[in-house]
Structure 1
Amino acid sequence: QCHCQVPQYHSCRDRHCPQCQGRATRQWSERQQQAILPVTYYHLVFTLPHELNGWVQLHPEIIYSLLFQAVWTTLKAFGANPKRLGGKLGMTAVLHTWGQNLSQHVHLHCLVPGGVLTENQEWHSARSTYLFPVRALSRHFRGKMVSALRECATAGKLDRITRADEIDQLLDQLMKKDWVVYSKPCINHTETIIRYLARYSHKIAISDQRIIGMKDDQVHFQYQDYRDDQSKVMKLDTDEFIRRFLLHVLPNGFMRIRHYGLLANRCRKASLERIRKILAQPAKAEEHPEADEAGDYPCPKCHKGHLVAIWRINPVWPLPVRGPG
């Protein structure tokens, strides 16, 4: 519409590339939409204290895995407690490691259906506006995480922490402070939360659109300051910008999205069918989205028209040099 030309580069398919994960994000969101139950969902966020950021940099795979384990163990115990819901809970969790200014802010976003499947194959709905008491969740989560860290240290898995008595001192300090847990019901807004999680499920800490430019060996980018709810511009030296960006590169093969309980991959289909039958709600018709087209992308300049593909330039790869024989 405004005759703006924008190149769309060939995908490198790296999961930390800001450009290459758009299609994967949409596909994941559509799959999750198909699995939505006709119940109230709850959005919970479990945050690691910033005092553990140094350990995360030394042992990212161990700490991230323990975070998933501690969160699910906490929610599973609360869901199975007969004084609360008394059944099997489900959870979808997405790991985030960043804040808006690319700082290290490790937290787990959890989407939990508001209810459990009991041993009698009945659906027991949650009636609380916050699913479980947040303060009790925080204390249980803190105990599970600290206990798991102590076990790893005893087993010698945190061998990169070399300062004497650091482990005991830090863990004792963390047990004396409150850990941050957030919980909110998603009444009639489950699709919105799924789209929110999908934005980060296959992407990295910053998108190209937020980078304004470079000047005097500094990178200028936009970020949202949630303290006063304003969009601001941050300037970082190039080395610092790259350092912050690399904080959020995950270990090879690490799964950022995980499903537990009723929503675990091995039993999700059967669990959803059983729950929908109990609730007398038919499954949504499965959609098969077509391949990405240029028209799916709005114009970055006028935001009115859509990009139209003019031509494709195929990549040319050098032929491998074959040795004798």
Structure 2
Amino acid sequence: MAKSASLQVLVNACLDGLVATQTLSPRQWQVCHHVRDCRTAVLGGFALHCDQCDAEALCYHACRDRHCPRCQRQASEAWCARQRAALLPVTYHHLVFTLPSALNGWIEVHPKQLYDLLFETVWTTLSAFGANPKRLNGQLGMTAVLHTWGQTLTRHVHLHCLVPGGAFSATGQWHPAKSTYLFPVRALSRHLRGGFVSRLRQAVAAGELCRLTEPREIDRLLDTLMGTEWVVFSKPCLARSETVVDYLGRYSHRTALSDSRLLSFDGESVELSYKDYRDGDQRKVMMLSGEELLRRFLLHVLPKGFMRVRHFGFLANRCRAQRLPAIRAAIGAVQARPLAVMTTEPGTTGHPQPSKPFDGYPCPSCRGGQLRVRTALAPKRRDGG
């Protein structure tokens, strides 16, 4: 008989089977425990009481892990609101830089180093093109979000970048992009490839990739990478840049898998909904064992403290407060309105709304009263834990 499908159900049912065949890192264990305990008595919570119908309910604490599909909605909405408030009245460009799959083995053993190199190389590439006097002759701005997955949860490392279409010169002038594309993607691809492989060679020579121990295999792979065409995607956002901000925001504080994509689970196999981009973006369903889906999910656990979202150039956190007003003045735009505080009340759309004091949760029983906190619940020890 099929059970309700969620990542939490899969962790409870399949984690033991997975660890019997695969060794998990301490970080992967930690994420599994967080997902398993999220919104359960293990984390404690509150006992609620309706002020009209005397109904009672329990509300348990969330784990707040960015890999948990049930958490971080408020943080994601607040991030989107901050980015929308900082948008300039120019055409934005959505660029995607993808690492070749041949690097997946190195990413397995040195994820932080290679992810950092991807951020560094992408920004160095774009800033070099922007500073070129024959192109924009100024400083670019970039917001980048790291994705490590494809629709079927296999490892597919790529960086989504949102770049305003222009550059801010040292003399305080705004130089708009000269065409509907920002830079030629083939030239970007070649520059990215050369820069990334060069940085890999330097990292190997400096001993920063210490788990790679076969010099011949290292040289063979680096030579293979230089002979591969790297994929770079670029598209102008001619309509609404807010849509790309919202797209990036869905994954700014969360990971690849949402519970809505898990259609059914019979205790052994799970149905996963995915979009097939190679077949006209059709929505399809694939069947995986519970252990295999959990294994794929854990491929995308990030190193502890790793920053998945980063800002560069005139959008960097250290200078955006000064640079954005100067850029708006340079292009004759009015100042953006102050950012409102986000709320998470039911029925909100995720756009900025004025905050108001918390007054309890609407009672689902009488629909007229408010569920208010009656007492705090201490965390409970998990059975067998």
Question: Which residue in the other structure is 1:29 paired with?
Answer: 80
Q: Under a length normalisation based on structure 1, what TM-score does the superposition of the two structures give?
A: 0.89
**Residues 297 and 282 of structure 1: is their aligned pair in 2 closer, same or farther, counting only changes over 3 Å?**
closer
- Superposed displacement of residue 312, structure 1: 6.4
Matches of 1:65 and 1:16 in 2, distance apart?
19
Matched, 1:267 2:319: yes
Q: Does 1:197 align with 2:222?
A: no
Does 266-275 or 233-242 show the bigger shift?
233-242
Could you say what secondary structure the match of 2:271 adopts? Answer: strand
- Say whether the 8 Å CA contact 1:294–1:309 is kept in structure 2: no
Q: Does 1:13 align with 2:74?
A: no
Q: Give me the whole-angstrom Cα distance separating, in 1, the residues matched to 2:245 and 2:379.
A: 42
Q: Secondary structure at the match of 1:220?
A: strand
Percent of residue pairs identical: 57
**CA positional deviation for 1:293:** 1.5
Partner of 2:165: 114
309, 330, 333: which is aligned to 1:257? 309
Tell me which residue corresponds to 2:287. 235
2:368 maps to 1:316:
no
Instruction: Please tell me the root mean square deviation across aligned C-alpha atoms, in Å.
Output: 2.2
The structure with the largest alpha-carbon Rg is 2
Whole-Å Cα distance in 2 between the matches of residues 315 and 172 of structure 1?
61
Whichever residue aligns with residue 32 of structure 1, its letter is Q
Give the whole-Å Cα distance in 2 for the aligned partners of 1:192 and 1:308.
31
Q: Structure 2 matches for 1:1-325, cutoff 5 A?
A: 10-228=61-279, 229-296=281-348, 308-310=362-364, 311=371, 316-318=377-379
Partner of 2:354: none
2:287 partner SS: strand
Deviates more, 1:43-52 or 1:275-284: 275-284
- Equivalent pair of 1:90/1:263 in contact (CA under 8 Å): yes
Q: Which amino acid aligns with 1:284?
A: A
Cα deviations across residues 186-235 of structure 1 (Å, max 9, x unaligned)?
11220111111111111111101111121251121211111112111111
C-alpha distance after superposition, 1:153-207 (max 9, x if no partner): 0111111123341111001011011100001111122011111111111111110
Q: SS at 2:175's partner residue? A: strand
Q: Counterparts of 2:335 and 2:68 in 1: how far apart (Å)?
A: 35
Shift of 1:14: 0.7
Does the CA contact (< 8 Å) of 2:273 and 2:284 recur in 1?
Answer: yes
User: Aligned in 2, Cα 1:316/1:184: closer, same or farther, shift over 3 Å?
Assistant: same
Distance 1:315 1:139, change over 3 A: farther
Displacement of 1:128: 1.8
Inter-CA distance 38–234: structure 2 relative to 1 (3 Å threshold): same
TM-score, with length taken from structure 2: 0.76
Q: Deviation digits for residues 14-46 of structure 1, max 9, x if unmatched? A: 111111111111100000000000111111000
SS of alignment partner, residue 173 of structure 1: helix
Cα distance change of structure 1 residues 18 and 216 upon mapping to structure 2, 3 Å threshold: closer
- Taking a change above 3 Å as real, the CA distance of residues 315 and 45 of structure 1, as seen in their structure-2 partners, is farther
8 Å CA contact 1:294, 1:308 repeated in 2: no
Report the AA paired with residue 249 of structure 1: V
Q: Check whether the contact 2:274–2:283 (CA below 8 A) recurs between aligned residues.
A: yes
CA distance, structure 1, for counterparts of residue 324 and residue 334 of structure 2: 10
Q: 3-state DSSP class of the match of 2:251?
A: helix
> Kindly tell me: are residues 295 and 184 of structure 1, through their superposed partners in 2, closer, same or farther at Cα, counting changes over 3 Å?
closer
Q: Which amino acid aligns with 2:138?
A: G
C-alpha contact 1:219 1:236 (8 A) present in aligned 2: yes
| Unaligned runs of at least 5 residues, structure 1 | 1-6, 299-306, 321-325
Q: Distance in 2 between matches of 1:169 and 1:149?
A: 13
Separation in structure 2 between the aligned mates of residue 10 and residue 189 of structure 1, nearest angstrom: 36
SS at match of 1:109: strand
Report the CA distance between 1:309 and its aligned residue. Answer: 4.7
Q: State the aligned residue count.
A: 307
SS, match of residue 295 in structure 1? coil
Q: What's the CA shift string for 1:53-85, capped at 9, x where partnerless?
A: 111110000000000000000001000011111
Q: Distance in 1 between matches of 2:114 and 2:376?
A: 40
